Amino acid sequence: MKPYVLGIDIGGTNTVIGIVDARGAVIASASIKTAKHANIEDYIDDLYHEASRIIEANDAQDKINGIGIGAPNSNYFTGTIVDGVNLPWPTPIPLARLVSEKFGIPVAITNDANAAAIGEMTYGAARGLKDFIMITLGTGVGSGIVINGQVVYGHDGLAGELGHLIVKRNNGRLCGCGRTGCLEAYCSATGVARTAREFLEIRTEESSLRNLEIDKITSKDVYDAAINGDKLAQDIFEYTGTILGESLADMMTFSSPAAFILFGGLAKSGELLLKPLRNALEKNLMVCYKGKPKVLLSELKEADAAVLGASALGWEAKPLDAPAVPQASTLVVAAQ
C-alpha cells in the first residue's frame, strides 16, 4: 500500500486538501475557494492544480494510495453529490468519478459531517465513544451520527441530514434545500446573520450592528458585538443557542448519544452559544435522558477534523470499476 492518501473537505466557502500518512498525520495542506468557480469542471481543475502543487512539494508523486472526500449532501454508496444546497453547481454531480478520472487515483466520498465525525472518533474528542452525534456549524448545519462505533448511512447512503430537521413548522425561513423552517436556516453562520437582520428590523434598541450595512452583516460581526457587550447581539446568540439546544433534545430521543460534539466556526462562540444551548437541551430532555448527554467542542483543528476523516475513506477507495467500498466500520481502523 502506498504511504499517503489525500483527504479533501469541500465546504460551501472553502475546500481544504491534505496529504495524510497512515498514522493520521497531516503532512501538508492547502485550500481553494469553492464558490468562485463557474462550473464543476473548473473547480476540479483548480483542485487538481493545488493538490499537485503540494504533492510535488512533499515528494509524494506516485505515493498517493487513494482520495477521500467529505462533501455536502454526498452519497457514500454512489459517489455522487445529490443535492449540494450550499454548492454553486447544479446537482447531481458524479464527483467521485470526475475526481478519479482527473487524478487517476481511486476516490471515495461521504458527507462532510460524516467525515468530520470519523476524524473526531479517531483523533479527537470522540475517542473512546461509540455513540455520539457530530454537529457541524458552518455555512450550513451538518451532522454525522455514530451508533455502536459505526457511521449511520441508511439504506441509500443519505442518512443523517439533521441540519434539515424542521424547527419552525409555521412561517419558517426558506432553507437552501427548498423547504422552510430547517435547523440550518437558524443555527448556521448564515442563519445567525439572518437573525441579526430580523432583529434589527423588528427591535428598536441601540446596537453597534446598526452601524453596518445590514445586508452584509456576518456571524463574525454579531460575535464581535456580543463580546463587547452589545445586548441585541447577545440576544441573537441566546435565540440561536436555544433553538439548537431544543433540537439536540429531539435528536437524543432516537439514538441516545453519549455526547454531542460541536465543530465549525460558530462553535467557537463559546458560552455565548453554549450556555443557552445547554439550558434548552436540559429543559427539553425526556426525564430518562436528563443529565446524560455531554456537549463537547471538537478537539481537532477546524480543517483537520474533516480532512482526517475524509482521508480514512482514501485508504479504502476502490477503482471506478471495482465493487462498492467497505462499510463504515472498517474505515476508522484504516486511518489508525
Query: Which pLDDT tens digits describe the chain residue by residue (336 residues)?
Result: 789 999 999 988 899 999 999 888 999 999 999 989 989 999 999 999 999 999 999 999 999 999 999 988 788 899 999 876 678 898 899 999 999 999 999 999 988 788 889 888 888 899 999 999 999 998 899 999 999 999 999 998 888 899 999 999 999 999 988 999 999 999 999 999 999 999 999 999 999 999 999 999 999 999 999 999 999 999 999 999 999 999 999 999 999 999 999 998 899 999 999 999 999 999 999 999 999 999 999 988 776 777 888 998 888 888 766 544 444 333 333 333
16 within 8 A of 302, measured Cβ to Cβ: no
Of 82, 65, 60, which Cα lies nearest the Cα of 335? Answer: 65
Cα–Cα distance between 65 and 93 in angstroms, integer? Answer: 23
Which three-class secondary structure state does DSSP give residue 61?
coil
| Residue ranges of the chain that CATH labels 3.30.420.40 | 4-116+301-335, 128-297
Cα–Cα distance between 333 and 312 in angstroms, integer? Answer: 8
pLDDT of residue 331: 34
Name the fold adopted by 128-297: Nucleotidyltransferase; domain 5 (3.30.420)
* Phi-psi group of 35: left, alpha or beta (phi > 0 → left; psi -120 to 50 → alpha; rest → beta): alpha
- C-alpha angle with apex 26: 23 to 31, nearest 5 degrees? 155
pLDDT of residue 225: 98
pLDDT of residue 323: 47
60 within 8 A of 4, measured Cβ to Cβ: yes
pLDDT of residue 305: 78
85 within 8 A of 72, measured Cβ to Cβ: yes
pTM (two decimals): 0.81
CA dihedral 270, 276, 279, 285 (to 10 degrees): -100
Q: Name the CATH superfamily housing domain 4-116+301-335.
A: ATPase, nucleotide binding domain (3.30.420.40)
pLDDT of residue 329: 33
Cα–Cα distance between 321 and 334 in angstroms, integer? Answer: 22
pLDDT of residue 313: 86
pLDDT of residue 322: 55
Cα–Cα distance between 148 and 196 in angstroms, integer? Answer: 39
pLDDT of residue 123: 81
Q: What is the number of residues in the chain?
A: 336
163 within 8 A of 183, measured Cβ to Cβ: yes
pLDDT of residue 320: 65
73-97 in b/e burial notation, b at 16+ Cβ within 10 A?
bbbbebbbbebbbbbebebebbbbe
Cα–Cα distance between 269 and 181 in angstroms, integer? Answer: 23
pLDDT of residue 306: 79
